[in-house]
Each structure stands twice: as structure tokens, then as C-alpha cells.
Amino acid sequence: MYVVYVILCRCGAFYIGKTKRTLVERVREHMASIRSGRSCPRLIDHVRSRHGGNSTCLSFAGLETVVESLRGEDRHKRLLQRDNTYKRDGSAWT
């Protein structure tokens, strides 16, 4: 099972992600990355360059849960399609 989630910034930028773990765990990880400067480079760059490193501009929300019923590649393809669907409707993360 996957959770597809969105990280929304108050400036209108957003990032769609997915995780096999719980959303709470993933959010914790993102916040730790911002503090430590490791991983999530796009997110870190954005928060640092646009908001002076203050991550309170971000909010997180779960979009949907994807049941892992499809096999390997099909599943991956479908997740990419979902990604694109979300991204089409808004501005890309910059």
C-alpha cells in the first residue's frame, strides 16, 4: 500500500510524493531533512532560498492510498500517471 501525499507551501508551490510507510513517518523524515540539510534537495533549496529556511511555510496532506494490487512495472507506471495528473493541475515545485 502506498500513500500519495502533497507538501504544500504557502507561496503556492507544491510537491507530490509517495511513501510505503505512514504519512506521519514520512513527514517527520522531510522535516528532519530540512533541518539537517540531507536528502530532499528540491524541498530544502526551496525552503532556504524562498523562505529563509523556515519550514513553517509547509503543510502536508495525504491525497490517496493506493492499494498494491498491480505488479511491478504496471504499478510504477500507474503511480507516475497519478503524479502527472496532480502536477498538471498546479504549478510545479520550484
Q: Is 13 in the site for Zn ion (CB under 5 A)?
A: yes
Q: How far is the CB of 5 from Zn ion (least distance, A)?
A: 17
Q: How far is the CB of 53 from Zn ion (least distance, A)?
A: 12
Cβ contact 5:62 at 8 Å: yes
Binders in 31-60 for Zn ion, by CB under 5 A = 50
> Which of 3, 7, 9, 44 touches Zn ion (CB under 5 A)?
9
Q: How many CA atoms lie within 13 A of 33 on its CB side?
A: 16
